[in-house]
Amino acid sequence: MSKFMHAGRSLLELLLILAIGLVPMASGLAVMLYQLERKFQDDARVSTHEALFAIDRVLDNLHLAASDAARYSGAACASASEELRALASADPRIRSLMLTRDNQVYCSSMPMLAPYPVAFEPGSHLRLNFNSLTTPNGVVVEYRLGNTDPGVVATSYGIELRKELHGFQGELTLLLEFGEHYIGSIGDSRDAQRPSQAEFFHSARSSHHDYTVKAGYAEGHFVKEARQSMLQILPSLALVGLVTAAITYWGIFRNRREKRTAA
């Protein structure tokens, strides 16, 4: 009977040592996963608001350019075209300045053969144009000053937006939505598939202009990063667990020896 009791006691001590040794490893992994999750959440949130600030500056510049050209609104193209070209050439970020009447561009700082339509969504003053005659296969950002007729439209190349998005490092996917269309650092609405933003998604709408910033990581990103982090810290955690188990074993062994000595 004493042999069975001794074996059972030894088994319990072994299980106790293993459990105590695993506690630092489990705790370390839990803390690592929590910190990793918080990091991605904070990155998505902070990057969204930083992108809003950066893109607002680009669009504010379009607004200023359109405001400068507003004094020529409704003017004859013969008298206004040179002035529009001078204003547009003064800022390399401005692609063109256009005068509109009845939703038709009748005068532009860029050469044009005939008037052509320009249509904005009701109540909107911003749009992405993927079908520009003068910029084939490119993206043009068009900014309408107010809802007046005749009116003024200032444009810039989509690369100006992409430049700002390229400033955000890492694997976070940032997209700018203008109505039904979007543009990212390397893609846009013409792509066959929209980039994944399934994990740690965050979005914010500009209070100054008609667009929304959406940020998120691709599906599976957290698992991939967690696996890499585990491989980096597991050796250290295993060492801590081993030392903890050894100290526990020594404590049990010493306690048992003291009892035998006292007996």
Give tens-digit pLDDT for 215-249. Answer: 999 999 999 998 887 888 877 777 776 777 677 66
CA distances from 162 to 40, 157, 166 (A): 22, 9, 6
Per-residue confidence (pLDDT) for residue 8, from 0 to 100: 59
Q: Residue 257's pLDDT band (boundaries 50, 70, 90)?
A: low
pLDDT at 1 over 50: no
The one-letter amino acid code at 191 reads D
Is pLDDT above 60 for 136? Answer: yes
Number of other CB atoms surrounding residue 51 within 10 Å:
24
The 10s digit of each residue's pLDDT in 34-84 is: 999 999 999 999 999 999 999 999 999 999 999 999 999 999 999 999 999
Q: Cα–Cα distance between 144 and 24 in angstroms, integer?
A: 61
If you search the block for the tokens 């910029």, which residue do you land on? Answer: 135
Phi-psi region of 138 (alpha: psi -120 to 50; beta: other; left: phi over 0): beta
**Cα–Cα nearest to 176, from 261, 52, 77, 65:** 52
